[in-house]
């Protein structure tokens, strides 16, 4: 009796340990190097992220030069921002890729770094007006949330119009730098306000946006890919010691230009941004703009 109880307990314990061990094993095994066709599939979206740096007058007429010409079938629906107090944004749809596109402008590191490292910033719960029903334990950088709030209502209305005009059921949200932070916030915000549509978010050089609860929410609810380039310093900011944590979905561009898919959140392996770029001083500002494969971000 005692023996069988012991056997039962130990096998239960063993099962529990195995169940716990399995994801770790999987995590270790699931680094993958992207094929050239997998990398090339990001190129149109990288141009879309780059187009978001162009003035709203140009994205509204899709006349922003090489960035716009890279996606020639795009149909603009709305655009806004002034490029200084409000980041540029645009919404439209791409019949070739069969998706509505939302683009958010980023900012150069000289302007982003003060925002990220500003002594006034703190982690704040998401505003229930924009994020109805979201758990108050989910906290994000207040500076990013304030930037997001400036355009949220207009972007939401434009996405609804674009879905109706195009007849599509898919939305891809892109951005670089601060624009990537805005894109992942939209990746949380838009589905809460537009049900039954497929959303995907692709962020380039994305800073840390929120806390562990935010990262967990994003993992469970947002189809996110975040692409980090070599020694770019922005993705390691704000620091983890301040309570910030990256969600999963990283593709890290290596020194030899190969792309490695990093499993898990904020992976500290040397093949991923957090492990590759240890300190702000070891980081590069130049690598922030790319190139992301063939595309260097900027209008
Ligand atoms: C949430 O956003 C609304 C609309 O912009 C604003 O009126 C309200 O003050 C915000 N609430 C908080 C707690 O910031």
Q: Which CATH superfamily is domain 11-289 in?
A: Alpha/Beta hydrolase fold, catalytic domain (3.40.50.1820)
| pLDDT at 25 exceeding the cut of 70 | no
- Residue from 125, 129, 132, 156 whose mutation best tests the ligand 1 pocket (most atoms within 8 A of CB): 129
Query: Measured in angstroms, how far is the CA atom of residue 26 from the centroid of ligand 1?
Result: 42
Please give the average per-residue pLDDT across 192-210, as a whole number. 97
Beta-ladder partners of 260: 33, 252
| Ramachandran quadrant class, 244 (left: phi over 0; alpha: psi -120 to 50; beta: rest) | beta
The residue that leads in pLDDT, 107 or 3, is: 107
Q: pTM of this prediction?
A: 0.89
Each residue's pLDDT tens digit, 157-167: 999 999 999 99
Any ligand 1 atom below 6 A from CB of 150:
no
Domain boundaries defined on the chain: 11-289
| pLDDT at 7 exceeding the cut of 90 | no
Using DSSP's 3-state secondary structure scheme, residue 103 falls into strand
Spatial distance between the Cα atoms of 102 and 272, rounded to a whole number of angstroms: 27
| pLDDT at 42 exceeding the cut of 80 | yes
Each residue's pLDDT tens digit, 242-277: 999 999 999 999 999 999 999 999 999 999 999 999
**With contact defined as beta carbons under 8 Å apart, do 257 and 294 qualify?**
no
Any ligand 1 atom below 6 A from CB of 149:
yes
């Amino acid at each position: 009796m005692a023996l069988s109880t012991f056997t039962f307990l130990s096998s239960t314990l063993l099962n529990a340990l195995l169940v716990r061990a399995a994801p770790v094993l999987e995590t270790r095994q699931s680094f993958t190097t992207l094929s050239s066709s997998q990398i090339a599939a990001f190129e149109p979206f990288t141009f879309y992220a780059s187009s978001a740096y162009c003035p709203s007058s140009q994205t509204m007429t899709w006349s922003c030069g090489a960035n716009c010409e890279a996606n020639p079938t795009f149909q603009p629906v709305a655009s806004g921002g002034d490029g200084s107090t409000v980041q540029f944004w645009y919404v439209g749809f791409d019949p070739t890729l069969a998706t509505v596109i939302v683009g958010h402008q980023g900012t150069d590191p000289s302007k982003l770094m003060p925002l990220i490292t500003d002594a006034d910033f703190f982690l704040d719960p998401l505003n229930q007006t924009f994020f109805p029903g979201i758990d108050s334990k989910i906290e994000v950088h207040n500076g990013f949330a304030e930037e997001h709030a400036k355009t949220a209502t207009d972007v939401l209305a434009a996405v609804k119009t674009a879905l109706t005009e195009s007849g599509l059921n898919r939305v891809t949200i892109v951005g670089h730098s601060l624009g990537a932070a805005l894109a992942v916030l939209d990746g949380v915000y838009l589905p809460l306000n537009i049900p039954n549509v497929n959303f995907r978010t692709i962020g380039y050089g994305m800073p840390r946006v929120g806390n562990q609860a935010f990262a967990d929410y994003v993992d469970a609810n947002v189809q996110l890919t975040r692409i980090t380039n070599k020694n770019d310093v922005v993705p390691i900011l704000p620091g983890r010691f301040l309570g910030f944590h990256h969600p999963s979905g990283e593709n890290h561009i290596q020194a030899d230009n190969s792309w490695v898919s990093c499993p898990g959140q904020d992976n500290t392996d040397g093949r991923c941004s957090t492990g590759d770029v240890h300190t702000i001083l070891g980081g590069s500002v130049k690598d922030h703009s790319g190139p992301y494969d063939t595309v260097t971000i900027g209008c």
